[in-house]
Structure 1
Amino acid sequence: MANIKPVRPDIDAAAARLGGVVFGSKREIAKLPEVLWEGEAVHMLATGNYGGGLGLLAMTDHRLIFLKHGFMSQQIEDFPYSKVSSVQWNGGIVQGTLTVYASGNRAEIKQIPKADGKALADRLRMHIAQGSTPAATAPASAVGGQPTAPVQDIASRLATLDQLYAAGAVSDAEYQDRRTKILDSL
């Protein structure tokens, strides 16, 4: 992840898998933690063009997010897995288009690098095929409207943390601190 300041272990790991294709996405990667719900983990990132602007696609444990953070305008759109009914991938030689059908709407995200787009589409299909209930895929609302992680998500967050720790992306102290915070959220 050349020339990108470390943001957060899960985001850094996902950005590293972009294979250096981060042109035009550094600002979005840095701003991504501001858009995430508490306890939400990023699994994959990709670049793409949506709504007239090049931005960042972030696949988390709860939703797919498109984030564009320009000097003059910002755009955030999310697609909770419980609302996604279908996904279509059309790949070309180098890039392709991911079409997401959610809540009766159709979103076409273009110019996604082929390998990243195919992986995103496959993972989205997996979420759809699992037929997850909204409680298993989207945060429950807490008092005051703040999202909280469902109990099922605790195991997923702990597994992600264990993977980051095993990969050396998290220090011993960070591991213990984050593990304690995850368990305290029960």
Structure 2
Amino acid sequence: MVDVNVRPDIDAAAAKLKSAVGSKREIQKLPEVLWEGETVEMLSPGLYGKGNGLVAMTSQRLIFLKHGVMSQQVEDFPYSRISSVQWSGGMLMGTLIVFSSGNKAEIKQMPKDAGKALADALRARLAGAVQAPAAGAPQAVPAPAGGDVASRLATLDQLRTAGAITDEEYRDRREKILDSL
């Protein structure tokens, strides 16, 4: 229910937020920290380190952005480096804990609904174990029949994360893709 006019993917993710108090500046500045071709899937305000900012789940990584008047803080967690995710919620707010490359990052004061949805989507992405290759990484050669299975599974995962298909549709389509091997 937050109205911004940045770009379609960011606008769609922001529209799902009940409030963007303390993170409107970050939503406006988000395109500056995104990689080429990277799209935003989910957003949530949160507190990381010593600052209120914005948590963005993108097509390639999890980002925390704080854009203050005098300083900017960006910390990102590529999905290939995240080993696990924990969510603990209270009555109104919760904490997302991300374990990445032996480090632990705690993002606190996330609104319960947005934070839980983001944590669930992040877990689903990690469980799928299909990650977009890093820029400059060698690309897999597509399978001759049925297209690139990893790409099809990644697209399917993105559709489910975006809410375009139900969990049941996801399972059915995933099973068909895997049966085509």
**Normalised TM-score (structure 1):** 0.72
What is the number of residues matched between the two proteins? 147
Higher helix share: 1
For 1:91 and 1:39, the matched residues in 2 are separated by 33
| Match in the other structure for 2:14 | 15
Aligned-residue RMSD, C-alpha: 2.4
Residue 27 (structure 1) aligns with: 25
Q: Please name the residue that 1:109 is paired with.
A: 107
| Cα contact 1:81–1:138 (8 A) shared by 2 | no
- What residue is the counterpart of 2:132 in the other structure? 137
Tell me if the contact between 1:41 and 1:61 (Cα under 8 Å) persists in the aligned partners: yes
Cα displacement (A) at 1:127 = 1.6
Question: What pairs up with 1:168-183 in 2 under 5 angstroms?
Answer: none
Structure having greater relative contact order (Cα 8 Å, sep ≥ 6): 1
Q: Does residue 76 in structure 1 map to residue 74 in structure 2?
A: yes
Q: Is the 8 A contact 2:4 2:14 kept in 1?
A: no
Runs of 4+ in 1 over 6 A off after TM superposition: none
Quote the Cα distance in structure 1 between the aligned partners of 2:97 and 2:11. 26
Q: CA deviation at 1:140?
A: 2.4
Amino acid in the other structure paired with 2:14: A
Gap regions ≥5 residues in structure 2: 138-149, 163-181
Residue aligning to 2:46: 48
Q: Report the Cα offset of residue 109 of structure 1.
A: 0.2
AA of the residue aligned to 1:85 = S
Q: Is the 8 A contact 1:80 1:138 kept in 2?
A: no
- 1:62 shift after superposition: 0.7
Aligned match of 1:92 in 83, 86, 90? 90
Task: Name 2:141's counterpart in structure 1.
Answer: none
Gaps of 5+ in 1: 143-150, 164-186
Deviation at 1:83, TM superposition (A): 0.4
Q: Distance in 2 between matches of 1:128 and 1:12?
A: 25
Q: Is the 8 A contact 1:49 1:110 kept in 2?
A: yes
Which residue does 2:174 correspond to in 1? none
- Distance (Å, rounded) in 2 between the aligned partners of 1:80 and 1:131: 13
